[in-house]
Amino acid sequence: MPSPLPPSADPYVIFMPSGRRRHVASGTTLLEAARHMGVEIESICGGRLTCGKCKVRIEEGAFSKHGIVSSQQHLSAPTAAEEAWLRQADDENMRLACNARVWGDVLAFVPAESRAQKQIIRKSAGERVIEVAPTVRQVYVEVDAAQLGEHRGDWGRLQDALAEQWRLQNLEIDLPALQKLQSALRHDNWAVTVTVYSESEVIDVQAGYVEGVYGLAVDIGSTTVAAYLCDLRTGALLATAAAMNPQVAYGEDLMSRISYATAHRHGLQKMHDAVIDTINRLGAQAARQAKIRRRQIVDAVFVGNTTMIHILLGINPVELGEAPFALARREGMDLRARDLNLHLHPGAHVMIMPAEAGHVGADNVGVLIAEAPYQQDDEVVLIVDVGTNAEILLGNKNGMYSASSPTGPAFEGAQIQFGMRAAPGAIERVRIDAVTKIPRFRVIGEERWCDTWHDTPPQHLVAGICGSGIIEVIAELYLQGLLLPDGRFNSAIASERLVWEGARGAYILATPEQSASGEAILVTHEDVRAIQLAKAALYAGAKLLMKRAGITHIDRITLAGAFGSTIDPQHAMVLGLIPDCELDKVHAVGNAAGDGARIALLNRHKRREAEQVAPWVHYIETAVDPEFQDEFVRAIHIPHQRDAFPHLQDILPVAGQHPVPPARARRRRTARGRRQS
Amino acid sequence: MPSPLPPSADPYVIFMPSGRRRHVASGTTLLEAARHMGVEIESICGGRLTCGKCKVRIEEGAFSKHGIVSSQQHLSAPTAAEEAWLRQADDENMRLACNARVWGDVLAFVPAESRAQKQIIRKSAGERVIEVAPTVRQVYVEVDAAQLGEHRGDWGRLQDALAEQWRLQNLEIDLPALQKLQSALRHDNWAVTVTVYSESEVIDVQAGYVEGVYGLAVDIGSTTVAAYLCDLRTGALLATAAAMNPQVAYGEDLMSRISYATAHRHGLQKMHDAVIDTINRLGAQAARQAKIRRRQIVDAVFVGNTTMIHILLGINPVELGEAPFALARREGMDLRARDLNLHLHPGAHVMIMPAEAGHVGADNVGVLIAEAPYQQDDEVVLIVDVGTNAEILLGNKNGMYSASSPTGPAFEGAQIQFGMRAAPGAIERVRIDAVTKIPRFRVIGEERWCDTWHDTPPQHLVAGICGSGIIEVIAELYLQGLLLPDGRFNSAIASERLVWEGARGAYILATPEQSASGEAILVTHEDVRAIQLAKAALYAGAKLLMKRAGITHIDRITLAGAFGSTIDPQHAMVLGLIPDCELDKVHAVGNAAGDGARIALLNRHKRREAEQVAPWVHYIETAVDPEFQDEFVRAIHIPHQRDAFPHLQDILPVAGQHPVPPARARRRRTARGRRQS
C-alpha cells in the first residue's frame, strides 16, 4: 500500500527507549529497521504473522518538518491478519513491527515484552538484573516441500530453510528430533517450530507454530535438592520445588557418603540413582505446578558441591576424601539429560557448572556468577556461603581468592546438645537482659517473643535451637558477661540460669514449662566449644584469604545460603564469625548457588563466564597451610581481639564491665585437621 | 651412549621400502628421523618401550664413504629394556626405532607390521588395497600425579599430557570414560592407555599399557544382515557373522515392511528392535570368534538400503513408499552406539553412511567407495548391484550417475514358479544341448552335473531354481531356439521337454526322478515373463543412465552383490540383463556394500570421501522419466536388438538358425509403474 504522501527524503525512524535513530529506505518494515539499528525486537515466526511477538507502540509519527500528520499515515495499513493480533493488544497504537512498512517518519516504542534481550529482576539477591539470553530457543520456519527429482532429504531442506530464514549454519540434528522430523513437516504444510540448542543442534521439530521452552536449574545440596523451573523465553521463574537429598540415608555429612560409596558394593550406584530419582520427581512436580509437560524442559543447569557432582555423574568421590583432593574434572560439562537417566525432553542438555578445586565446587561457582564479585571495581567483597562446610570468596576484579573452611555442621545445629534444623519450634532469636540475665527468645512458627506467651499459649513450644539461635545466644551470653572471652561460663556471675557440673557451666535458655518435651533447653559448655571451633575455622579461612590477597579491609560482606539469611550480622560479628566490616554493608542473599544456576540457565554468556572465572580464582587450600592453623588458634576466643572489630566498639564489653573469675593458666588448643563433612 | 667413531658429517639415514633419505643430526632417534622424513612408523607408547611397535630392521650401516663398518656401531647400543623386546623378534638385526639413536649412516627397513599407515588387501574385491587410517586409536600417556595446591583435576592433567605427548588438543571426554578416569590413573602409577575417537574425544581410559581396539562393519540387507569384525590397528578382518534379517517376519520385501511400520501400532518399534537385537547378537558372535570382548568394539559403520536405515534409526519409512520418496536425511550420521541400544563399548560411535536419494541408500554409497569409479580417469564403469531392487552406478571421475531399477524379486527366485533362494538343491547352472534340447544342470551342494548322477545318486536332488539358474536356463532356451525373442516358447520346435497349455508353453528343466518332490521342475511362460520384466527394468535403467551421461560405450561392468557373484556374464548379456561390453571386462565383486562399510571403518578419510561423493552423484529417478518407460518397452525382447551386443555376435542365434512359428501381430506391453519391493 503506497503512502498517500510520499516524503521527499528517506523516512526517519526512532526507537524508544533505546533512542536509536536512523533514516531508512521507504517501504522497510519496522522489524528490518530495528535490526539495522541493532534494536532487538523479538520475533519467533520471522514475519509470518504467526507469533505476534514483535508488537511495538507507535508513539508519534509526526516529528518531521512536514507538520503534524497522523502516525498511521506514516506506516502501511495493518492487514487483516495483523489486525487479528492487534485486537488482542488492548492498545490501538500497537502494530506488529514485521508487518508495518515505514512510509514516513515514525517514533516507535518497544515494550519490555517485545524486546528480544529480555531482562528479569532476580528478587532474592539484591534486585540484580539478569539478561535473558538462553542457550535453547525456538524458531519458526517454512520449509520447501519434498519434490521428485530433488534429493536433499527432509533434514537437508530444513537446514537450508534455517540457514536462509534464521542464518543458522552447520547445524546437527539429534536422533529423537530426526525421528519425528518427517511427520512434523507434513502435518502443517511444511511449517515447523524448531528448537535449537546453542545455535548448533536441532533438538526438536514440532508441526506448525508452537511456543514454550523451559529450563530447570538444580542446586544439589548435601541436605536439600532445590529445582527452579524457568521459562527460557521470558526468563520468568515458574515454579520452585525442593526435597530432602535422599542420600542423607547413606550418610549425614559428605565424608560418610564418600565412605559409603567406597565401602559398599553398589554404594555409589545407590546414591547416584537416589539423587537422579529425586531430580526427576522435582522436575515433574515443578512442571505440574507450572502446568507444562516435563518433556518441554529442554535445558538444565546443575550446581552442587564437588562430592554431590561426582555422585551425580556416577564418579566415585573417593579421591575427594583424602589429600590431594583431586577432582575428576574441574571444567563444566555439557551432557545429554538422557545419559543421566533424567526424564526431561529427549534431546535436553544438562550443563554441570565448573568447579574451582577439590573442595570448592560448582555451587560456589554459582555463587560466584550470581554475585559477580570479579566485576567489582575497587570494593573488596567477602562472600561466605555457610553450609556444612563454609566456602569463602574474597576479592574484586583485581583478583579473587577462595577457600573452604572446615566449620563442621555446628552452624546447622548438629553437634549442639539441643540443636536442630531450622524448623517450627526452633529458637532462632535470643536477647538476654543485661541485669536479670533472663533470656527472651522467639521460635520459628511463632511471631511473638516468649515473654508474651503467658497471655496466650504459643503455637509451638520450644523444640530446640537452630543455627541462628545458637549464634545469637552465645553472642548474647558473651555481651552480658555470662561467657568469658575464652568460652568458659563466668563463675563470677550469680544467676539462676547458670548451672554447673564441676567447672563446666551451662545456661538455661528455655525452662521446662517453655519446652515441648518438658525438659529445660540448655546451652552447654560443649555447645560453646563446638561453635567456637566452627567460627574459628570460618574466621581463620577469611583471615587467611585476606593475608594471601594482601587485603586488610573488607568493604562488603555477603552471607549466602539459608543459614546466612537468618543470622543477625551484628551477633555474627560479636561472635567473631566474620571479620570486621560496617554493619550496614553486611547482607544476606539467600541461595546464591541456586541463583547462579538459574542465571547460567537463562544466559549462555554467563556459562562461558563461569568457565573462565572458575579457574581464575586463586584457591587457597586451608588443609595444608600452617598459617591457617595459627589463625584458627588465634580465632578461638570471643572475639579474639577487641581492636580487630572497630565497628563493634560500642557493643563489645569493655574490661571491668562484668565481674570475672580469678585468672588461670591459659591452655593452648590446637586446630583440628581438616574435617570433610 | 656416545658413538665410538663420531663421524665428521651428520649421519645419513635411508628408510626402505619408501627410499626416503636425509642427513639427520647425530643422536637423533630413528623414530624422530622417520617422522622428519614423513616415514610413518607405528608407535603407541611414544618411545617409552612399552609397546614394541616401532621395530625396524637395520639392513646396512655402511654405505658411507668411510668404508664398511658394522651397522650396530652406527646406532646407540640397545638398552636392557629394548633387548627384552628384541628377543621376541627372532631377527637379530631388529631395533626399536624409538630407542636407537643414530650416530652414523644407517639404512633401515620398516617392515609392514611397523608401518603406521598399514595397508590391507581386500581379497573379495579384486585385490584392492585399503589404507588403514581408523577413526579410533589408542595412545599411551604418562600423566602428572595429582598434587595438593594444583587444581586442574585429573581430566585437566590428562588433557595436558595428551597435548604434550601426542599433540591432541581440544579434546572432550565421554561420561563413561570420565567415570573410570580416576581409578585408571591411580592403578598403574599415572600411566594410562587412552582411546581417542576422531582426534577429538576420549572414549576410554585404561590403566597402564593396553592394546586392542576393534570395529564392526555392518551391512543391513533386506534379507541378510552381515557383520565384519576388524582390528582397527592392523586392519585385519577377524570374524564375519551373518544372520537372516528378522524383519522378514514382518514382510518379505521393502514395501510390505513400510506398510507394516505404518499400519501396525508398534510396527516400526518391533522391526527396529528386531534388527538391533540381531546386530547385537552378531557383534557378540563375531567377538567370540575373534576371542575379544564385545565392549572392545569402539567403532562401527553401518550400510543398508534407505528403508533399512530408516528403520534402524527408528524413523518411520512411510515416506519412502510413495512419491516423492523423501529421505529423512541424506547425509551420513555419527551416533552413539548406546543411543541405538547397541551393546558395544559404552563410548562407541556408529557411523551411518550417507545416502544418494530416496531409493539409492547407504549400501550403494558403500559400493561407491569400495569400487571408487569416481576415481577412474577415462574408462567408463557400470556397476550393477542386484538385490530386490537393482542399484546402478555409471560413469567415472568426469561424472557419476545412479539409478534404482524396479526389477522386483524375480532375480532372487521369487515370482518364479519353482524359484528358490540360493540354497542346497537349487539349480544354479544350466546348459541345453543344441540338438536334443535336453538340459544339463548343476545344483548347489553337488559338484557334479546332473548327467553323471546315474552313477551315484546326488547329495541333493533338485529343490528348485535359484536366480542364476533361471538366468542361465532362459538364456540357453533362447540360444537353442526354444524361446523366441519376444519371450514366447517356440511352437515350431518339437521337443519332449516342451509342454503346452494352450498357447503358453513351459520347459521341463528337471524330471520327476531328478526332483526332490518327485514333481517335474518347469520353466513356465510366466517365469520367462517375470524375468523379461526384471531384466528389462535393469537394462532400461542402465540405458537411461547412459543416455543421461551421454555415454554410448561401456568399458567395464562390475556385478556386485551375492546374485552378481553367481551369474555368468555371458548368459546375463545374452538375456539382455546388462548392456554390451567385452566379456572379460565383466567382473563380480561380491558384497561391495559390505566392503565399503569395512573400508569406511578402517579409513576415516574414506568416510569424508563418502560424504562428498554421495551428493555429487547425479541420481536419475526412473519412476518419473518417460524415457525409462520407452527403454523398458524396447528391452522386453531377448536381446531386444542383436546389433546392440557386438560382443555377442558369435553366440547369438542368427535369423534362420532356428525354426520360428508363423508371425503374429505384435502387441505392445507397457512398462509397469515403479514397484518398490
Q: Note the pLDDT tens digit of each residue in A369-390.
A: 999 999 999 899 999 998 777 8
> What do you get for the CA distance between the two ends of chain A, in Å?
73
Whether residue A149 and residue B621 make contact (CB cut-off 8 A), yes or no, is yes
Question: Which carries the bigger pLDDT value, residue B68 or residue B650?
Answer: B650
Does residue A496 register a pLDDT over 50?
yes
d(CA A384, CA A366): 13
Strands (E), B323-389: 333-336, 349-352, 381-386
**pLDDT attached to residue A1:** 41
Cell numbers 566456602 correspond to what residue?
Answer: A391
* Secondary structure of residue A413 in the 3-state scheme: coil
% of chain A surpassing 90 pLDDT: 57
Does residue A623 register a pLDDT over 50?
yes
Q: What is the ipTM of this complex?
A: 0.84
Residues of A in contact with B177 (CB under 8 A): none
Whether residue A156 and residue B330 make contact (CB cut-off 8 A), yes or no, is yes
Question: Which carries the bigger pLDDT value, residue A368 or residue A516?
Answer: A368
Residues of B in contact with A146 (CB under 8 A): 319, 324, 326
**pLDDT attached to residue B526:** 93
Does residue B179 register a pLDDT over 50?
yes
Go through the domains of chain A in sequence order and give each one's CATH number: 12-114 (3.10.20.30), 136-207 (3.10.20.880), 371-409+531-648 (3.30.420), 412-522 (no CATH)
Asked if A385 and A367 touch (Cβ cutoff 8 Å), the reply is: yes
Cell matching residue A28: 522497510
Provide mean pLDDT across the span B481-496.
92
Which of B83-92, B263-272, B510-519 bottoms out in mean pLDDT, i.e. has the lowest?
B83-92
**pLDDT attached to residue A133:** 93
Cell matching residue A515: 519446652
CA-CA distances (angstroms) from residue B301 to B143, B220, B374? Answer: 32, 11, 21
d(CA A427, CA A421): 10
Question: Which carries the bigger pLDDT value, residue A64 or residue B330?
Answer: B330
Whether residue B331 and residue A155 make contact (CB cut-off 8 A), yes or no, is yes
Q: What does A322-340 look like in DSSP terms, one character per residue?
A: STT---S--S-EEEEGGGG
Q: Which residues fall within 8 angstroms of residue B483, CB to CB, at 6 or more apart? A: B474, B477, B489, B490, B528, B638
d(CA A332, CA B653): 78
Residues of B in contact with A624 (CB under 8 A): 148-149
Which of A402-411, A435-444, A660-669, B546-555 bottoms out in mean pLDDT, i.e. has the lowest?
A660-669
pLDDT digits (tens, 9 = 90+) for A321-330: 998 999 999 9
**pLDDT attached to residue B66:** 43
Whether residue A315 and residue B356 make contact (CB cut-off 8 A), yes or no, is no
% of chain B surpassing 70 pLDDT: 93
> Per residue in B491-512, is it b (16+ CB within 10 Å) or e — as a string?
eebebebbeeeeeebbbbbbbe
Q: Please, which pLDDT band fits residue B118 given cuts at 50, 70 and 90?
A: low
> Could you tell me how many helices (H) and strands (E) chain B has, helices first?
15, 29
> What do you get for the CA distance between the two ends of chain B, in Å?
72
- The mean predicted confidence, pLDDT, of chain A is 88
Q: Please, which pLDDT band fits residue B673 given cuts at 50, 70 and 90?
A: very low
Reference A231, options A674, A662, A602, A657; nearest CA is A602
Cross-chain CB nearest to A330 (options B151, B325, B326): B151
DSSP-derived pairing of the beta strands A504-510 and A521-524 = antiparallel
Does residue B597 register a pLDDT over 50?
yes
d(CA A484, CA B505): 121
Whether residue B178 and residue A315 make contact (CB cut-off 8 A), yes or no, is yes
d(CA A328, CA A330): 7
Reference B348, options B276, B299, B282; nearest CA is B299
Q: Edge-to-edge strand order for the sheet containing A106-109?
A: A20-23, A12-16, A106-109, A55-60, A94-96
Whether residue A155 and residue B329 make contact (CB cut-off 8 A), yes or no, is yes
Cell numbers 523423501 correspond to what residue?
Answer: B326
DSSP 8-state class, residue A53: -
* Secondary structure of residue B515 in the 3-state scheme: strand
How far off is chain A from B650, nearest CA to CA, in Å? 41
DSSP 8-state class, residue A576: T
Q: Please, which pLDDT band fits residue A640 given cuts at 50, 70 and 90?
A: low
> Per residue in A608-620, is it b (16+ CB within 10 Å) or e — as a string?
ebbbebbbebbbb
d(CA B38, CA B18): 10
Whether residue A330 and residue B152 make contact (CB cut-off 8 A), yes or no, is yes
% of chain B surpassing 90 pLDDT: 57
Q: Edge-to-edge strand order for the sheet containing B618-619?
A: B586-590, B556-560, B381-386, B390-396, B399-405, B618-619
Which of A300-314, A326-340, B112-126 bottoms out in mean pLDDT, i.e. has the lowest?
B112-126
Provide mean pLDDT across the span A314-325.
94
d(CA A112, CA A56): 10
Asked if A156 and A146 touch (Cβ cutoff 8 Å), the reply is: no
Residues of A in contact with B150 (CB under 8 A): 324
Element holding A22 (H helix, E strand) = strand A20-23
DSSP 8-state class, residue B41: B
Q: Edge-to-edge strand order for the sheet containing B55-60?
A: B20-23, B12-16, B106-109, B55-60, B94-96
**pLDDT attached to residue A645:** 83
How far off is chain B from A626, nearest CA to CA, in Å? 14
Omega before B579 within 30 of 0, i.e. cis? no
Q: Please, which pLDDT band fits residue B1 given cuts at 50, 70 and 90?
A: very low
* Secondary structure of residue A666 in the 3-state scheme: coil
How far off is chain B from A666, nearest CA to CA, in Å? 35
Q: Closest-CA residue in chain A for B317?
A: A182
Which of A570-579, B630-639, B648-657 bottoms out in mean pLDDT, i.e. has the lowest?
B648-657
Cell matching residue B462: 533338485
Cell matching residue B555: 568399458
CA dihedral B252, B256, B257, B262 (to 10 degrees): -160
**pLDDT attached to residue B60:** 64
Reference A185, options B326, B451, B384; nearest CA is B326
Question: Which carries the bigger pLDDT value, residue B181 or residue B148?
Answer: B181
Provide mean pLDDT across the span A82-87.
85
Burial class (CB in 10 A: 0-12, 13-18, 19+), B662: exposed
**pLDDT attached to residue A251:** 82
Whether residue B151 and residue A316 make contact (CB cut-off 8 A), yes or no, is no
Cross-chain CB nearest to A148 (options B148, B329, B624): B624
How far off is chain A from B170, nearest CA to CA, in Å? 13
What's the pTM?
0.85
**pLDDT attached to residue B419:** 86
How far off is chain A from B328, nearest CA to CA, in Å? 5
Which residue intervals of B191-253 are DSSP H helices?
Answer: none
Cross-chain CB nearest to A179 (options B315, B338, B621): B315
Asked if B109 and B57 touch (Cβ cutoff 8 Å), the reply is: yes
pLDDT digits (tens, 9 = 90+) for B376-406: 998 999 999 987 778 999 999 999 999 998 8
**pLDDT attached to residue B663:** 64
Q: Closest-CA residue in chain B for A148?
A: B324
Q: Please, which pLDDT band fits residue B457 given cuts at 50, 70 and 90?
A: confident
Does residue B561 register a pLDDT over 90?
no
Q: Please, which pLDDT band fits residue A238 given cuts at 50, 70 and 90?
A: very high
**pLDDT attached to residue A506:** 96
Q: Closest-CA residue in chain B for A179?
A: B315
Does residue B364 register a pLDDT over 60?
yes
Q: Closest-CA residue in chain B for A359?
A: B151
Provide mean pLDDT across the span B467-471.
90
Cross-chain CB nearest to A358 (options B151, B333, B335): B151
Q: Is the dihedral of CA A231, A232, A237, A241 positive or negative?
A: positive
Cross-chain CB nearest to B153 (options A314, A328, A621): A328
Residues of B in contact with A315 (CB under 8 A): 178-179, 181-182
**Pick among A143, A155, A157, A182 to test the B interface (most B CBs inside 10 A):** A182
CA-CA distances (angstroms) from residue B418 to B433, B443, B571? Answer: 22, 14, 20
Whether residue A313 and residue B621 make contact (CB cut-off 8 A), yes or no, is no
**Pick among B182, B319, B338, B624 to test the A interface (most A CBs inside 10 A):** B182
Does residue A125 register a pLDDT over 60?
no
d(CA A300, CA A230): 10
Residue type, B622: T
Degrees, nearest 5: CA angle B190-B196-B200: 115
Q: Please, which pLDDT band fits residue B61 given cuts at 50, 70 and 90?
A: low
Whether residue A182 and residue B621 make contact (CB cut-off 8 A), yes or no, is no
**pLDDT attached to residue B677:** 38
Asked if B334 and A201 touch (Cβ cutoff 8 Å), the reply is: no
- The mean predicted confidence, pLDDT, of chain B is 88
**pLDDT attached to residue B605:** 95
Question: Which carries the bigger pLDDT value, residue A74 or residue A396?
Answer: A396
d(CA A488, CA A291): 57
Residues of A in contact with B323 (CB under 8 A): 148
Residues of A in contact with B624 (CB under 8 A): 148-149
**pLDDT attached to residue B122:** 54
Does residue B187 register a pLDDT over 70?
yes
CA-CA distances (angstroms) from residue A263 to A55, A267, B303? Answer: 61, 7, 46
Q: Please, which pLDDT band fits residue B5 given cuts at 50, 70 and 90?
A: very low
Does residue A663 register a pLDDT over 80?
no
d(CA A209, CA A194): 9
Whether residue B330 and residue A151 make contact (CB cut-off 8 A), yes or no, is yes
Q: Closest-CA residue in chain A for B325?
A: A148
Which of A248-257, A614-623, B345-354 bottoms out in mean pLDDT, i.e. has the lowest?
A248-257
What are residue B162's phi and psi, to 5 degrees? -70, -35
d(CA A524, CA A507): 6
**pLDDT attached to residue B117:** 66
Cross-chain CB nearest to B154 (options A147, A314, A327): A327
Cross-chain CB nearest to A147 (options B175, B324, B339): B324
